[in-house]
Amino acid sequence: MNKRFRVGSIVLIMTILAIAGCSVPRITLFGDRDAPLKEYTLQGSGRGKVLVLSIDGTISEKPEEKFLRGKEPSTVQQVAAYLKHAEQDPEIKTLLLKINSPGGTVTASDILYHEISAYKKRTGVKIVAVMMNVAASGGYYIALPADHIMAHPTTVTGSVGVIFLRPMVTGLMEKVGLSVAVNRSGEQKDMGSPFRSPTDEEVAIFQGLIDGLAKRFLDLVMQHRRLQPDQLARVTSARIFLAPQAQELGLVDQIGYLDDAIVKAKAIAGLPADARVIAFRRQEKEDDTIYNPAIQYSGGNAILPGLAQLQAVAEADFYYIWPAALGQ
């Protein structure tokens, strides 16, 4: 009976939403995403604080439509807000970045790198990055400002490179007998159009753009990690690595678990063993732990697993991303 009541309630809510359309006020079935940030202690009771900040899913600077929730702030927007809030607390001595991301757009990844670096410079706070399942491409890029990078024993990382993804519909159009008429002001004005194949010259232009963006990524890796020539040669292939390989190549400093990362985060800032480990939340979580994400990011509430992440790369753009990890 209770199950039927719950199903009936959900159907009723969805019917009301469908009838009311755009006039529906913001609903809070899943917690108030606009509630002020509050500090919650996850561990410890001593002096000094370690702030745990999770960065999960595809890195994007665009807000995302969520089922029954309207628009959610982008990854960039949310992380910037959390760092701004953290800057007001001088008791925070270490930022623990918990990263589980295949990467994202070039610009979004670079903005997060900038925001994390700027926060570190302004506050003097130490940063420890800990990689979970995947921290590839842009997911690795945002870890570069860290004073210490730790990988989980089963982490997949690397993919230091850039990819240009764009939809192509020329084959489908030929099959159904469709074409697109284009008037252009310059020879390359419609370069990258999904309605035609690129010319050899356009392929070369795109490759030049890709090479330039890849160089920026590799230059930052060299700046922060100072790899040897043989290490750099393997990294420039843009392949992925398991944690032991990444450590051998100098991409990570240590392999361990989240508890090990917290120990390191306290030690690197000279904090006592019982220093507080905190997180910022907009609402309280039951049985809260360091494994809970601080906030929901792209792909977190898709109706079908991975749908939102796949949508995030549906538009033509340049990406610091490992495409195979989308929709995992």
Instruction: Write out the catalytic residue numbers.
Output: 137, 189
Q: At what angle do helices 75-86 and 106-123 cross, to 10 degrees?
A: 0
Dihedral angle over CA of 111, 130, 310, 180, nearest 10? 30
Dihedral angle over CA of 258, 55, 252, 92, nearest 10? -70
CA-based nearest residue to 104, from 167, 168, 159: 159
Tell me the residue ranges of DSSP E strands in the chain.
Answer: 38-43, 46-56, 64-66, 70-72, 92-101, 103-105, 126-136, 148-151, 156-158, 163-165, 240-242, 254-255, 275-281, 317-321
Name the DSSP class of 59: B
Query: What contacts 24+ positions apart, CB below 8 Å, involve 73-77?
Result: 73/33, 74/108, 74/298, 75/104, 75/108, 75/112, 75/297, 75/298, 76/108, 76/111, 76/112, 76/115
